[in-house]
Structure 1
Amino acid sequence: MIGCSRSFVAFAVLALASSASAQLASPDQRCAAPAEFTTAAGALPNTAAAITKRGVLRVLIVGTGSTTLGGTSAQAALYTQRLEKELAVAFPGVSVAVQTRGGRALTAGDLLPIVIEGLEAFRPDLLIWQSGTVDAVRGIDPDGFGQTIAAGVEKALKHPADVILMDMQFSRFSRAAVNYGPYRHGLDSIANAHPGVLAFQRYELMRFWAASGQIDVERAPRSEWRAQADLLHACLAHALAEMIRDGVRRASR
């Protein structure tokens, strides 16, 4: 991607700050969601500084599944490309790089060393950490889960990098079988307790899309499953980019 001078980047960030109501172009009208899911509860100062001082933004995604963020490895790659594209649109002229690390069936304890290694090797400005699904399924102590996430968050903030904590995907089947509540609450509590840390409510956002009939992978006909899954990943990337842009705008006030 094409770089730009610091002055141009700073101007672009200030322009975004003066246009709080503007939205990124949605990849599909079915991505529409209430503002509560894409509005940042606080600022992303390290992300904003990377944009204004270097014109470069590095984002590290760590998670289970194929982030992987659920889905196939091909969908994960497509998700990464879409997030890069969404962020490039949000921050014109900024060089955006997104890397993913993780694997299937990993708990927060398994992911913590991966987070630390990624912080050292990639030196991201923003860490997006998706966790909680495997811990909830295995019934791992919620307090221990929270302590592990908090340890990773503190490592990231010292690097320094901002953090977005993403909870699990919504599923009617898993909702009936697994108690996600304590783990979602733990992620929210950690985000609320640390400046530079946001919570992305993926579970509630996906439940909204399913309830409204916009995106519902579980109930899609088999012939449409792949298209629905691809749309879901595109819309999650879009919503994340909107939250990140809002967090940068807040840091630039």
Structure 2
Amino acid sequence: MRPARDWLRVGGLLLAGLSAGTPGPAMADDVPTPTPSLECRVPGSQLYSVASLAAAKAALEERHILRILAVGGSSAPGASASYPVKLEAALEQAMPHVDVIIDHRGLPGEIASGAAERLRSLVADVEPDLVVWQVGTHDAIARVDPTAFAEALDESVAWLKSHGIDVVLVDPLYTASVATDADYNRIVDGVRDVATREGVPLVRRFEALRYLAGRNEKGEVHILGRQFRLNDLGLRCMAEHVALTISASLARTPAPEPAKAPAGEVASPPASEPAKPPAAVVPPPPGPPDLTGPQRAPG
């Protein structure tokens, strides 16, 4: 007789097989929603808000490839360098038949107003379907005016959308020292307002970390490293939260409609049926000659 844990494992595999269906190319209209690990679980209302990801959905339908540009945070060696690896792993676990490609470009101390020009060059270089943008923490620390911050962020998000690129925003970090800081919270609110106004998904990192810090006996020390940065666990939780937000948004995004032939044009026949040549134009039979004076019938 199998031990109980083995039956649980077998049951989990059966459920996974039922939900996955027959192995084959991923169907973009059936994107499963991953479950965060126990240490990273946060109520959905405190974790994310979803919105349509049409460009990412189209990439899954057409190429089964999702190319992501992750910006913000730090790309310096150390724990933070593991974030894109963790995010890629979390997304590929949720979408096992999709090739997820993540290009992480971080710049310590960058603020939103200085990111606009760099975003344009990065987009030209990477050609992403989706941009995941950690934004606001450095602006809040630098005491950037909240209105100016929101305007700069709004402009950059609108520019990305106008070029057919989806955006997921990740709002600032949380620590107890900034929990009641009015200026810091205005920046957090600014990210949320831009996400709502532009209709893009939002990872509520501030609320999620506050929840995790309050739930865990070790508090913030358990999820934050030195110099206001997430440690390895905090980065893993953020990667799982971003993956969950992307998956939930994709699951609620309708599949793109097939392209229609422009008005006045005839759609091409299916590949399995060869095109028929146009029918020959047959001139009408000649009519009787026009009657002239001498040919008139007697009347």
Q: TM-score range by the shorter chain?
A: 0.7 to 0.9
Structure 1 residue 178: Cα displacement: 6.6
TM-score, normalized by length of structure 1?
A: 0.81
RMSD: 2.4
Say whether residues 1:24 and 2:26 are aligned partners. no
Structure 1 residue 104: Cα displacement: 1.2
1:108 is matched with: 112
Structure 1: distance between partners of 2:183 and 2:146: 11
Contact between 1:128 and 1:163, CA under 8 Å: does it hold in 2?
yes
- What are the Cα deviations for residues 145-167 of structure 1, in whole angstroms up to 9, with x where unaligned? 11110111012112211111111
Alignment-mate amino acid for residue 127 of structure 1: V
1:96-245 correspondence to structure 2 within 5 Å? 96-175=100-179, 179-195=183-199, 197-213=200-216, 216-218=219-221, 229-245=231-247
1:58 is matched with: 67
Structure 1 residue 92: Cα displacement: 1.9
SS at match of 1:61: strand
Alignment-mate amino acid for residue 25 of structure 2: F
- What are the Cα deviations for residues 46-87 of structure 1, in whole angstroms up to 9, with x where unaligned? 1111111111101111113x2x4xxx6322221111100111
Say whether residues 1:8 and 2:25 are aligned partners. yes
Structure 1: distance between partners of 2:250 and 2:129: 12
Alignment-mate amino acid for residue 129 of structure 2: D
SS at match of 2:221: coil
Contact between 2:71 and 2:105, CA under 8 Å: does it hold in 1?
yes
Aligned residue pairs: how many? 228
- What are the Cα deviations for residues 73-108 of structure 1, in whole angstroms up to 9, with x where unaligned? 322221111100111111121111111113111111
Structure 1: distance between partners of 2:206 and 2:154: 20
Write 1 or 2 for the structure with the bigger share of helix. Answer: 1
TM-score, normalized by length of structure 2?
A: 0.70
Say whether residues 1:33 and 2:48 are aligned partners. no
1:95/1:221 Cα in 2 relative to 1: closer, same or farther (>3 Å)? closer
1:37/1:120 Cα in 2 relative to 1: closer, same or farther (>3 Å)? farther
Structure 2: distance between partners of 1:212 and 1:105: 29
Structure 1 residue 211: Cα displacement: 0.5
Contact between 1:188 and 1:199, CA under 8 Å: does it hold in 2?
yes
Structure 2: distance between partners of 1:142 and 1:192: 16
Structure 1 residue 219: Cα displacement: 6.0
Structure 1 residue 173: Cα displacement: 2.2
SS at match of 1:144: helix
1:41/1:145 Cα in 2 relative to 1: closer, same or farther (>3 Å)? same
Contact between 2:192 and 2:202, CA under 8 Å: does it hold in 1?
yes
Alignment-mate amino acid for residue 34 of structure 2: L
Contact between 1:61 and 1:99, CA under 8 Å: does it hold in 2?
yes
1:128/1:97 Cα in 2 relative to 1: closer, same or farther (>3 Å)? same
Structure 1 residue 214: Cα displacement: 7.0
1:49 is matched with: 58
Structure 2's unaligned 5+ residue stretches are 1-23, 256-299
